[in-house]
Chain A
Amino acid sequence: MNTFTLGLIVLIYLLSLTYLGIKGYRQTKTSSDYLLAGRQIHPFVMAVSYGATFISSSAIIGFGGIAANFGMGLIWLTFLNMFVGVVIAFIFFGRKTREMGHKLDAHTFPEFIGKSFNSKSIQIFAGALIFVSMPLYAAVVLKGGAVFIEKIFEIDYNIALFVFTLIIAAYVVAGGIKGVMYTDALQGSIMFISMFFLLFWTYKTIGMNFSEANRNLTEMAQLVPEKLQSMGHLGWTSMPAFGSSWWYTLVTSLIMGVGIGVLAQPQLVVRFMTVRSNKELNRAVLIGTVFIAVTTGIIYTVGAVSNIFFMQTEGKIAIEVLKDVDKIIPEFIKLAMPSWFAAVFMLTILSASMSTLSSQFHAMGSSIGRDVVSTLMKRPHNNTLITRLGVVVSIIVSYIICYTLSMGVIARGTAIFFGICAASFLPAYFCAIYWKRATRKAAFASMVSGFGISLLMLLFTHQKESAALGISQAIFGKPALFDQMPWPVLDPIMIALPISIVVIVAVSLLTPKQKAVTVAA
């Protein structure tokens, strides 16, 4: 494909985004419009926006690369993404969140939890926590998009990153959540259609059907490099050896962390509050589940199958061709797909990154602007300007963090953020909806303990982070505090979330009942 056609496709795409951003901007008059789209969003837009926000370049590039390296065990994540991330989230959390959100007049996730427990401290703490920890997640997604632009356009990475950040900044700052959700819906639709083509063309290229490819992959198990075998890798169509280090990473970090963490993602929860009634949520269950099944199910399967392609063309498995996990999917697309599709797929990746980033920036901006600054200043909550400033600050912070990242961190960065959210917010969020007996102090204690333990484990026990951060080395003289399995590979969520649950139950029972503000049934 020549540069002119490629440029034209991208130009049409950017013009469409600009149109939708302006449409969102024109319809944004109040802070409720900016934060919740006036609670009038169409179910298709809501569901696809939710899916597109959830599935970022991290899922496609980062987790797709993990599937190429470690195989189809990641399909469990697809299942949890659908079942927990959509079915449970919409039916058991979404409806109540929407109803309570409206009654409490909450506009952001921290405001929702804060008002549920009638506590400004909870709102401020939650807002600050999001603002501090989300830039890591935004930075890995930003990197995923920028690397792809760099590859396809063959331009300098720094320029790619700068231009990419500017484009997203323009429509998030101007359009608020309407601009974000309209562009999400367009981007989600592009993602959805591209995935079917990717699946079809992958099997066509390797000249096999689904079963034949799987049999071939099963037979390739002997080609797994020794280093990966020692980590528990038993082949691309098998789960890792039970109790091995890779098993812990796959099950505790990637599957549980991301699979359950989705329930307490601020940028996703806020979407429940953008629709008018439960009818929209019921319809969104169908649309959202199919969307996630198609996007993640296909990329994880294709990721594993890409090993057959690399074997046929290069005589080596994917990770031996490309040492960096994050580069496997982009390279596979470039080599195996027709060139016009590489351009369309680039739009898919850009779409996936932009839809996630725009929501992240919106969530961070509203956290710092509305939940922290406005609440501390005790100003009336109708100031969109502070939120817009918050968005600008969060974009700059994420942009700076992006420079400090090493390669191969995309999936891990995502899992860390999802894990922190689950441990810090999930028990309080659940109790805000379903357990009237939960008290303000208990919710606060649960959030602090969930976050605190996650942080301590990242600093001192989970080796990947503790070794990279070096604090454990400086204080205790070793990269991680405990050597015996499973501590170095046990994800913080496995300890922090149960403790956070115990804390909210125990403290609630020990503190006096307070008058419930929740509308829990």
Chain B
Amino acid sequence: MFGISDPGIYLAYLLVFLCVIFAVVYGIVNWNKGGTDNTLPLEEDIKWEEEELKIKEDEA
């Protein structure tokens, strides 16, 4: 295929192309997904953090 006789080499080229296609499709499909900033602390997390701090203080 394409003048390459070793399947070990053209398989690598094939995988490169498949990977590009996957990434392009993935990128387009998810272009606007995951936009909400879920890193802002939830109430539960704040509580957890406070608890952690308390434990740390006690340890110290």
Asked if A pairs with B, the answer is yes
CB distance from A176 to the nearest CB of B (A): 21
Contact A98 B39 (CB under 8 A): yes
Contact assessment for A279 and B45 in the assembled complex, using a CB-CB cutoff below 8 Å: no
Segment touching B, from A73-81, A417-425, A431-439: A73-81
- Per the CB 8 Å criterion, the residue count for chain A at the interface is 47
Kindly state whether residue A278 has any CB partner on chain B within 8 Å.
yes
Closest to B2 in A: A211
Interface residue? A381 (CB, 8 A): no
* A72, B12: Cβ atoms closer than 8 Å: yes
Q: Which of B2, B13, B20, B39 contacts A99 (CB 8 A)?
A: B39
Closest-by-CB residue of B relative to A72 is B9
Contact at A290–B4, with CB atoms within 8 Å? Answer: no
Give B58 Cβ to nearest chain A Cβ, in Å. 12
Q: Tell me the chain A residues, 463-521 only, with Cβ under 8 Å from chain B.
A: 515, 517
Known: A73-B8, A75-B9, A87-B22. A277 touches B16 (CB 8 A): no
- Given A75-B13, A87-B22, verify A515-B2 contact (CB < 8 Å): no
> Within the assembled complex, what's the spacing in Å between the Cα atoms of A278 and B37?
8
Given A285-B26, A290-B24, are A238 and B8 neighbors across the interface (CB < 8 Å)? yes
Task: Kindly identify, within residues 235 to 280 of chain A, every residue whose CB is under 8 Å from any CB belonging to chain B.
Answer: 237-239, 276-279
The answer, among B9, B35, B55, for a CB contact under 8 Å with A515, is B55
* A79-B16, A238-B5 as given contacts; A277 in contact with B26, CB under 8 Å: no
Tell whether A157 is near chain B: CB-to-CB under 8 Å: no
Given the contacts A103-B45, A290-B23, A83 and B15 also touching, CB distance less than 8 Å: yes
Contact at A293–B3, with CB atoms within 8 Å?
Answer: no
Q: Judging by beta carbons under 8 Å apart, are B33 and A282 in contact?
A: yes
Evaluate contact between B55 and A286: CB separation under 8 angstroms.
no
Q: Tell me the number of A-to-B contacts counted with CB atoms below 8 Å.
A: 121
B45 neighbours in A (Cβ, 8 Å) = 103
Q: In the complex, what's the smallest C-beta–C-beta distance from A64 to chain B, in angstroms?
A: 16
Q: Which of A210, A212, A215, A297 contacts B16 (CB 8 A)?
A: A297
Q: Which of A81-105 contact B (CB under 8 A)?
A: 82-83, 86-87, 91, 95, 98-99, 102-103
Q: Specify the chain A residue showing the minimal Cβ separation from B21.
A: A289
Bound form: Cα–Cα A217–B30 in Å: 41
The contact of A277 among B2, B5, B23, B36, by CB within 8 Å, is: B36
Q: A79 and B20: CB pair below 8 A?
A: no
| Minimal beta-carbon separation of B21 from chain A (angstroms) | 10
* B31–A293 CB distance below 8 A: no
**B34 and A278 within 8 A (CB):** yes
Q: Which one of A76, A91, A288, A515 lies within 8 Å of B12 (CB-CB)? A: A76
In the assembled complex, the Cα of A238 lies from the Cα of B12 at a distance in Å of 11
By a CB distance below 8 angstroms, the chain A residues around B23 are 82, 86-87, 285-286, 288-290
Q: Within 8 Å of chain B (Cβ to Cβ): is A26?
A: no
| Given A72-B12, A237-B9, A290-B20, A214 and B2 contact (CB-CB distance below 8 Å) | yes
Residues of A within 8 A of B31 (CB): 279, 282-283
Asked whether B20 lies within 8 Å of A517 as measured between CB atoms, the reply is no
A287 within 8 A of B: yes
Taking CB as reference atom, which chain B residue is nearest A286?
B27
Chain B: CB-nearest residue to A78: B16
Binding site for A on B (CB under 8 A): 2-6, 8-9, 12-13, 15-16, 19-20, 22-24, 26-28, 30-39, 41, 45, 52, 55
